[in-house]
A and B are shown apart, each in its own frame.
Chain A
Amino acid sequence: MAILINQETRVIVQGITGRDGSFHTQEMLKYNTKVVAGVTPGKGGSEIFGVPVFDTVREAKNATRANASIIFVPKAFAPDAIYEAIDAELELVVCITEGIPVHEMLKIVSYLKGKKTRLIGPNSAGIISPGKSKVGILPPVAFKEGKVGVVSRSGTLTYEISSHISQAGFGESTVVGIGGDPIVGTNFIDCLKMFEDDPETEAIVLIGEIGGNDEERASEYIKKYIKKPVLAFIAGQTAPPDKRMGHAGAIISGGKGTAQEKIKALNAAGVRVFFEPEEIGRLLCEIFK
């Protein structure tokens, strides 16, 4: 099972001939992801690592029955790539690109209403369903097939925490990086819902950070609808207000979005919050004993 991606997922790489796009296409192929096509406008008809390249997403989809795409296009052209994928009616679009202006994202999420596409990101590390498929840039070494669902706003912190889940022997069903921007296509609640419905997932780990109130809203949702055990980590307890901590979304402003508030909300929803990445192994042992 797993969520969002599995062995059947057929992936188009948008921006396949770029530096990051070509590197990660190789990495995904190594992981046995079904990368069925690439798109680079103007380079249609060529081939890279045995993957056929097309000029447009629609052509690529028609020729290969692809149902998902991953976007490595530079920020200035990434919104166009997202619209193209939505209009081609791909089920899943994962946007890795960082630095897309928030006003572009406001338009994109507005355009997405009523469409068939689920957008993950932007500024996402992507998705991995260990042992099945990887549509992202996550290093496989941190992951292991298993029963813990992980959803996160960050990249390397997800690798760090997942590696402890893997080392403790539990492994992950699917790991989703929803992206570190203030406006993203898919939020915690969407992923919590999918994990709750996934029979392979037996516990959920939520990795949040300062800024916005996505974690607070997730807490309310967990309280009402999630029966599986949820554990959470919140980064940024020592972050000062009004300073952007790397991610565009990671900023405490007007006294809102602090780690303390988020931890309080999570605790109130019965979520176990841990404060050190390596604690997760021990906590999962308690849950699954």
Chain B
Amino acid sequence: MKIHEYQAKEFFRKYNIPTPKEKLITNLDEVDLALSELNFPIVAKAQVLVGGRGKAGGVQFCQTPEELKEAVKRILSMTIKNLAVKKLLLAEAVKYEKEFYLGITIDRERRAPVLIASAAGGMDIEEIALRHPEQIVITELSPFLRLKSYKAREVGNVLFSDKELVNKFIEIAAKLTNIFFDYECNLVEINPLVLADRELVAVDAKIVFDDNGLYRHPELEALRDLDAEEKSELLAKQADLSYVKLTGHVGCIVNGAGLAMATMDLIKKYGAEPANFLDIGGSSSPQKMREAMRIILMDKNVRGILVNIFGGITRCDDVAQGLLWALKEEEIKVPIVARLTGTNELEARMLLENSPIVFARTMTEGVKKIVELTRS
């Protein structure tokens, strides 16, 4: 789960990582109140959960109240990568001498947490890695020991020649590491971390939590931006289904994430576009299948549905029961193709014998049939 910069900054303040003076606003009327607490120059920053807001024009440097109000009006009416900007962070601009990068993340290759720092801050880490690979310092952390200060010192000594700054860096790195471990993050990042007037200040902030760890930190759920998530995806989550909405016309319901992705790929290979990813998960129940149908049918782009099940723990008759249930309760106008193989396959066939559902023997046959039936 990603959170906004302003939310990440609240974690920084809680852990005493220096941040600029800031104020969050949601409309133009709040600017005056914010100005009673902030001094110019001020940076207005769009709060959206996608990268590239700067390039999209979602960040503006302002010298006067007039300029700021214009910027607020403009940015609040913006849409960045399909997300409407609803919140703006106004921050006192920091006059800095140099930008750095500091982040802690999980390195899948090393199978360990790593602290990454660079004297080439300001651009994203992928860009630094591409343009200045020699300027990246990576140190592996132990999940038991977290960050030992000698390790932070080794990194700090590469970035700073001034001993006092090295000490300040060690302190910030330790605090950031604690956020990373305390809340089970996939990523915590300060970019840029700036040097201003002999102080290190976190000008931007990014935190991504591990979805699998969220159940141990129920308080984090309140930080979820419901506007940034598809309503249907949230509904699916409540029904314990894994669903991602896409833009095509062929709905698909599959058991297992790998098979679901492979089904989407095959739909594309045969000339159509998948409308979604949907994994009904391991153990099956007619209820889950019923919910899956409900969610798929909410998408008005869907012109047909392919059900692709390789029954192991999932029982094909459960899937068939769920399909019949959906057919009974909803007026379904789109064609449905079902490929049901494995556990209780024959029972499923018998259940669906007098239904309008088209059968397919194999995955490829099912994909070909649904692509044919949904061709406009």
Contact = CB atoms under 8 A, between A and B. Distances in A.
Interface string B259-295: 1111011111100011001010011000000000000
A243 interface: yes
Interface string B16-43: 0000000000000000000000000000
Contact of A101 (B125, B184, B282): B184
Contact of A233 (B262, B283, B362): B262
B356 interface: no
Given A110-B143, A213-B108, A239-B264, A153 B258 contact: yes
A57 interface: no
B342 interface: yes
B259 A157 contact: yes
A107 B143 contact: yes
Interface of B: 106, 108-109, 111-113, 124-126, 142-144, 181, 184, 186, 210-213, 215-216, 242, 244, 246, 254-262, 264-269, 273-274, 277, 279, 282-283, 310-314, 341-343, 362-364
B224 to A, nearest CB: 14
Nearest to A255: B126
Nearest to A125: B312
Interface stretch (A37-45, A47-55, A222-230, A273-281): A273-281
A154 interface: yes
A197 B273 CA distance: 42
Contact of B312 (A155, A213, A233, A277): A155
A18 interface: no
B211 A154 contact: no
A139 B277 contact: no
Given A155-B312, A255-B126, A106 B258 contact: no
A157 B309 CA distance: 10
Contacts of B216: 101
Interface centre among B108, B210, B246, B341 (most CB of A within 10 A): B108
Interface of A: 20, 75-76, 98-103, 106-107, 109-110, 125, 137-139, 141-142, 152-160, 163, 180-183, 207, 209-210, 212-214, 217, 233, 235-240, 243-250, 254-256, 259, 275-278
B144 A156 contact: no
Given A159-B310, A255-B126, A278-B364, A245 B244 contact: yes
Given A157-B261, A246-B260, 8 more contacts: A141-B342, A155-B282, A156-B258, A213-B108, A235-B261, A240-B244, A245-B242, A259-B265
B245 to A, nearest CB: 9
Contact of A103 (B126, B143, B215, B269): B143
A153 B261 CA distance: 12
A154 B265 contact: no
A182 B237 CA distance: 20
Nearest to B113: A106
Contacts of A98: 282
B256 A102 contact: no
Contact of B265 (A100, A101, A237, A255): A237
A275 B363 CA distance: 13
A239 B106 contact: no
Contact of B184 (A102, A209, A243): A102
B258 A182 contact: no
A209 B261 contact: yes
A239 B277 contact: yes
B186 A102 contact: yes
Contact of B342 (A159, A244, A245): A159
A93 B124 CA distance: 40
A236 B267 CA distance: 12
Chain B CB within 10 Å, residue with most, of A183, A248, A277: A277
- Among all A-B residue pairs, the 6 with the closest Cβ atoms: A154-B258, A246-B257, A156-B256, A157-B258, A101-B213, A235-B261
Contact of B279 (A107, A125, A181, A246): A246
Contacts of B210: 101-103, 248
Contacts of A100: 212
Contacts of A246: 242, 256-257, 260-261, 277, 279
Contacts of A239: 261, 264, 277
A20 B269 CA distance: 36
A235 B258 contact: yes
A180 B261 contact: no
B106 A106 contact: yes
12 contacts: A101-B184, A137-B282, A141-B342, A153-B258, A157-B259, A180-B257, A181-B212, A210-B261, A238-B261, A238-B274, A243-B244, A255-B126
Given A155-B312, A238-B264, A275-B269, A102 B142 contact: no
B111 A106 contact: yes
Contacts of A240: 244, 246
Contacts of B274: 238
B111 to A, nearest CB: 5
Contacts of B312: 125, 137-139, 155-156, 159
B278 to A, nearest CB: 9
Contact of A245 (B260, B313, B341, B364): B260
B54 to A, nearest CB: 16
A235 B265 contact: yes
Contacts of B267: 238
B212 A236 contact: no
Nearest to B145: A110
Contacts of B277: 239, 243, 245-246
Given A106-B113, A214-B108, A238-B274, A248 B261 contact: no
Contact of B212 (A101, A138, A159, A250): A101
Contact of B108 (A137, A156, A182, A250): A182
Nearest to B49: A242
